[in-house]
Structure formats: structure tokens, C-alpha cells
Amino acid sequence: MKKKSLFILLFCSFCLISEAQKGWEIGGWLGVSNYFGDLNTKFDVTRPGPAGGIIARHNFNKRICLRFGANYGSVSANDADSKNSFEQRRNLSFQSHIIEGVALFEFNFLPYEHGDYEEFFTPYVYGGLNVYHFNPRTKYEDRWVALQPLGTEGQFKGEEYALTQLGLAYGVGLKMDINAEWSFNVQFGSRYLFSDYLDDVSTVYPDEDDIESLRGDLAVQLYDRSIPTAEGIKLGQEGRQRGDDSNHDFYTMVGVGIVYYFGKIYCPTFK
């Protein structure tokens, strides 16, 4: 009997050390988002957009978590902000709302347990997949115009880039207890995209006649908005560089959040 009691005590102690925290957290976060790509090649962060989302995190133990999230962000860029003479003359701009879902694994660098006086905070890293929806637009004659339907780089009708795509989500953060149930989270995350069209810019200028015949006058006005020379020559000659498809676009989300812990400390039941 004594040996059995001692075994149960030791096993429960091991449980408390290795899997003391187990359960769900639900919460939300607010912050900012930034875009980097063909219309922001110098990593300028002077055009942040609002961002936020909801967090659902399952703690397997003190180190490993599985997290799901639904997030919103707004990104934009304008060649007028660039110090590069080519980009200034190219004179393109865009804005897009982004809605994404993420599935991530988190790893806590330190053992972390809600309500513990010693293990109440930890830095962490995370990585996983995201599915995001975007729709680049530009302002023309005081109205917002969606760019994807215009095939601004010569895409045939029905062959435009998809507005819902996959990417990789990764980042770092810090979580810290407020009390046994509530915790404070700070995180920085980046999204590597498998598309280079978040900004509607990727490759070369198409033929103007093809654009006009396929898409009409509005597409002609917007595929090449470059500033003409004194002789009236614009950049948009067929095959001339418009973007750089060797480096895909990406965006970041930075924010602070509050989450509520619903989990309990589990220990095995013995009969």
C-alpha cells in the first residue's frame, strides 16, 4: 500500500512538472500591419495600417501550444514616398484589406504556467500556415478601383491571380500573467507569401493595345501611371520592368493582446 501511494505521489509530481498546464485560452489583440514589396523596397514603416484579431490557443504543457487565429490588417504603399527615381516616376500605389486565418505551433522558451509565482512569463516563437484574402485597389478620380479585374500586367480574363492564397506565418512574442486566468501577450509576426501580387505589381509592362482590347480604357489608364518625360514618353513599354517577381511580397503584424485561460491542471486518475 505504501509503495502504491508513493508511486501515485511521484507520478502526480511528474505530471505537475511536465504537463501542469493543459487547456484552452481565448482572447484578442490590436496592433498595426505593414507591407513590404515592389512598392516598398526599402522597408519603410511610415504607412502602418490598423490590425487586430482573435486568439484561440491550446496548451499541451508548459512548453508547447497549438494556436488558431482570425486576423484583419490594412496595408498600403505609394511610389511617391520612395527616394528611388525609377519608383517615383513609375507612380503606382495600392491599398488592400487583408483577412486571414492562421494555424500555428508555439514553443515557450521558458516553462510557463498560469497562476504560478515563478513560471509566470516567457518569450516564445511560433510558426505555421496562413490563408489570407486580399484585394488591391488604387484611387483614381476620387474613387477606389479594384486592380485585379483589370489585368494590369496582361493577364487574360480568367487567368488573373487568385485573391485568396496560402502563406507561411512565423514570429516571436512574450506572454506574461496578469493573474491566474488572464495574461498579457505581445507579438511580432511576419507572413511569407507564395504570391507576388499583394500590391498588383510583379513582372513587366504588357502591350497597351492588348490591355485596351482585353480590359478597356480604365485598365489603360491604370496599368501605366508613370510620369512622362518632357517629350511625353512614359515607362510602360511592352516588356519593360514594372516589378520584381524574384522577391515575393510580405506583410507584418505587430500587436498586444489579452487572453483568458480556461484550462486546468491535470493529473492522472488511478483506480
Cell, residue 115: 497562476
What is the number of alpha carbons within 13 Å of residue 18 lying toward its C-beta?
Answer: 8
Whole-number pLDDT of residue 12? 45
> Rounded distance, CA 173 to CA 196, Å?
27
More confident residue, 180 or 197: 197
The count of other CB atoms within 10 Å of the CB of residue 236 is 20
CATH of span 2-261: 2.40.160.20
Closest by Cα among 10, 29, 9, 18 to 113: 18
> Rounded distance, CA 67 to CA 50, Å?
22
Q: Write down how long the chain is.
A: 271
**Would you place residue 20 in the very low, low, confident or very high pLDDT band (cuts 50, 70, 90)?**
low
Closest by Cα among 103, 90, 53, 94 to 75: 94
> Rounded distance, CA 249 to CA 199, Å?
8
> Which of these ranges, 72-86, 132-146, 196-210, 251-265, has the smallest mean pLDDT?
251-265
Q: Quote the pTM value.
A: 0.88
> Rounded distance, CA 227 to CA 235, Å?
8
**Would you place residue 14 in the very low, low, confident or very high pLDDT band (cuts 50, 70, 90)?**
very low
> Rounded distance, CA 96 to CA 98, Å?
6
> Which of these ranges, 18-32, 35-49, 85-99, 180-194, has the smallest mean pLDDT?
18-32
Amino acid in the structure at residue 58: H
**99-126: per-residue pLDDT in tens?**
999 999 999 999 999 888 899 999 999 9
Quick one: what percent of the chain has pLDDT higher than 70? 89
Residues 258, 183 contacting (CB under 8 angstroms) = yes
**36-81: per-residue pLDDT in tens?**
999 999 999 999 999 999 999 999 999 999 999 999 999 999 999 9
> Rounded distance, CA 76 to CA 93, Å?
8
> Rounded distance, CA 33 to CA 47, Å?
9
Whole-number pLDDT of residue 3? 45
Q: Is 156 helix (H, G, I), strand (E, B) or coil?
A: coil
Residues 121, 99 contacting (CB under 8 angstroms) = no
> Rounded distance, CA 41 to CA 263, Å?
44
The residues near 73 (Cβ < 8 Å, ≥ 6 apart) are 33, 49, 50, 51, 97, 98, 100, 251, 253
Q: Is 4 helix (H, G, I), strand (E, B) or coil?
A: helix
Whole-number pLDDT of residue 167? 97
**139-176: per-residue pLDDT in tens?**
999 999 999 999 999 999 999 999 999 999 999 999 99
**205-221: per-residue pLDDT in tens?**
999 999 999 999 999 99
Q: CB burial class (10 A; 0-12, 13-18, 19+) of residue 160?
A: middle
What is the number of alpha carbons within 13 Å of residue 225 lying toward its C-beta?
Answer: 20
**247-256: per-residue pLDDT in tens?**
899 999 999 9
**Would you place residue 10 in the very low, low, confident or very high pLDDT band (cuts 50, 70, 90)?**
very low
